[in-house]
Chains A and B, each alone.
Chain A
């Protein structure tokens, strides 16, 4: 079934990683769901770059299995607090990820 990522991953957030970088975390709570979603390539550096209209080479992409998590880090377009910055803490840049369509077998989603 198709679900938005926000229904599949309980933690989706962005934050400053220092004043010059933004870091995005997508964390799952279920190992089987995590493995399925990553294994089917539905969460990828390429999809992230496309969503934010960036070059893939500008996205630092790492998978951290102990946390069932994926992290994307990019350079900020403006440093935190610069006149052109819109989000000093860098914490409201993840919204486009919430609506990512994710195809998950119903069997993996409890209560569905």
Chain B
């Protein structure tokens, strides 16, 4: 059986990649072109708001190259977690770009879209049937929690992609997906060994990030065989070394060697990473342990309010030395003014981060001392409406600007604001609302496919 050749043009759709590298990748005769469109990495905002993680223009540039390459060489193109979060608005936005490209370039092909939105009714039924489960640290899933979610997606495995390909799809735009499944789908469909198929996917889903020098915005090839896989970057300026590939196996995962997928776990504990040549690495020993039950991870966003923030810089050594007390005074004054204006029950949260002290690490910060000549106060209010958040932040900004300082007299203005207006309405704030899995009746029932001929 000849190996299955996989091509990954870039780490995230829309991040870009060199045309020359992509051409080299196509020349290798791939059996599939795959690309990861997104992640939960950037937080819950895109899922909650329905906004794209990368601009439509940047996605269009990448998609146009991928689609024309895919059609010229008749290689299927699979895009997962389309639009960054993979919910209905994201998939629809990417689908529209694909349709537009097909029209402009006069290309005719079969397009399949896979949705991953979870109807609350489905989840309520699964809760009643006892077919959900918590992930690490979460409590059991209950009906109230399901109802509290504003948007829910399920993370698909390889099967929905495989079903699209069986139905003759040339281009697949999929919703929320295991990054690895985008690439494992085709080698598995061709009867390839599971361990190498999934492991190759893990390496390729970040583009050429696993090569040295690192670049997530360049192209990577893999050849998946019965006993292992080879991996090599398309750019001659990069190389895959045994260490770089082993290191990337660890990336962004709770365990360095156990990677959980819907259908089982990739176990890389007994892998050998060896050089084939100066730029290509061979990986053997990847194992895939099928799960007793097919389990699908759920992701959800819940709206908790609206944020307004401002940022100001102080050069005053007294403020810097007394910053905690200064911030406490802001907090106290805002509480009093909010109560006086809207009553004691008015809901809001006020967060003042001190840049130069502990803004990046918060409670994990071991140093917790501002030793520089300036400090930044990043003041953020979350309230039930944007207008309320604006109003409360204005109170906080006033107090932070004119607060008293020991040993200083007169009307002080203590913060340098970099721009006007100083106050920035930042829109709706979401949180991740679920940390659970669901056990569906089949690997595809949560992922409806829509096929169209362009």
Chain A interface residues toward B at CB < 8 A: 11, 15-21, 23, 25, 27, 29, 51-53, 60, 62-64, 66-69, 71, 73, 75, 77, 79-89, 92-93, 95-96
Contacts and interface: CB of A to CB of B under 8 A. Distances in A.
A70 B382 CA distance: 39
B271 interface: yes
Interface stretch (B325-333, B429-437, B444-452): B429-437
A88 B380 CA distance: 15
Given A67-B256, A81-B44, A88-B41, 13 more contacts: A16-B40, A17-B252, A18-B254, A19-B44, A25-B250, A27-B250, A62-B256, A66-B246, A67-B246, A75-B136, A84-B362, A89-B42, A96-B366
A66 B251 CA distance: 14
Name the interface size band of chain B.
Answer: 35 or more
Among A19, A67, A75, A87, max chain B CB count under 10 A is at A67
B232 to A, nearest CB: 19
Interface in B249-281: 249-257, 268, 271-273
B41 A80 contact: yes
B431 A68 contact: no
Contacts of A86: 353, 359-362
B250 A93 contact: no
Nearest to B249: A67
A54 to B, nearest CB: 9
Contacts of A80: 40-41, 43-44, 432
Interface of B: 40-45, 135-137, 242-243, 246-247, 249-257, 268, 271-273, 299, 304, 349, 351, 353, 359-364, 366, 380, 382, 429-432, 435
8 contacts: A19-B299, A20-B137, A23-B254, A73-B254, A75-B136, A77-B363, A77-B364, A80-B432
Among A60, A77, A82, A84, max chain B CB count under 10 A is at A82
Given A18-B40, A92-B360, A66 B273 contact: yes
Given A64-B246, A83-B304, A86-B361, A69 B256 contact: yes
Contacts of A63: 256
A66 B257 CA distance: 10
A73 B135 CA distance: 15
A79 B304 CA distance: 14
A69 B382 contact: no
B251 A25 contact: yes
Contacts of A51: 366
A61 B268 CA distance: 16
Contacts of B41: 15-16, 80, 88-89
Contact of B429 (A75, A83, A88): A83
A51 B366 CA distance: 8
A83 B364 contact: no
B45 A81 contact: yes
B73 to A, nearest CB: 34
A88 B256 contact: no
A66 B249 CA distance: 10
Contacts of B364: 52-53, 77, 93, 96
B261 to A, nearest CB: 13
Contacts of A19: 40, 43-44, 299, 432, 435
B256 A20 contact: no
A20 B255 CA distance: 14
B39 to A, nearest CB: 9
Contacts of A23: 252-254
Contacts of B256: 25, 62-64, 67, 69, 71
Contacts of A87: 360-361
The 5 A-B residue pairs with the shortest CB-CB distance in the complex, in nearest-first order: A81-B43, A67-B246, A64-B256, A66-B246, A86-B362
Among A16, A73, A83, A89, max chain B CB count under 10 A is at A83
Given A52-B364, A86-B353, A89-B41, A15 B136 contact: no
Contacts of B255: 60, 62, 71, 73
Nearest to B358: A86
